[in-house]
Amino acid sequence: MQEKILNFTVLIEQDEDGLYVAKVPDIMGCSTQGKTVEQVLERAREAIQVCLEADEEDHKPLKFIGIQQVEVKA
């Protein structure tokens, strides 16, 4: 069987402790963290692999359009 190559969007943010947090919006609950961007990206690849292997659902990446910050008054 031939391997499929899938491209997932990974959102990276930095928390209050300076750790980088990566979230994969296409896979519910798929996230990880690391001390550097390189580390969090490698861990994100690993997390995606684990999530895909553990979940019987067929995940198809959504088409990435963009990210926008929205300001609201609180």
Closest CA to 33 of 53, 48, 49, 19: 19
Q: Which CATH number does the domain 11-54 belong to among 3.40.50.720, 3.40.50.2300, 3.30.1540.10, 3.30.160.250?
A: 3.30.160.250
1 — pLDDT class (breaks 50, 70, 90): low
Which residue is listed with tokens 């959102």? Answer: 11
Q: Which residues have a Cβ under 8 Å from the Cβ of 9 and sit 6 or more positions away?
A: 24, 25, 26, 61, 62, 64
pLDDT digits (tens, 9 = 90+) for 34-70: 999 999 999 999 999 999 888 776 777 778 888 888 8
DSSP SS3 for 27: coil
What's the mean pLDDT in 21-36?
Answer: 94
Structure tokens at 21: 């947090």
Mean of pLDDT over the chain: 90
**Model pLDDT, residue 8:** 92
**Model pLDDT, residue 37:** 97
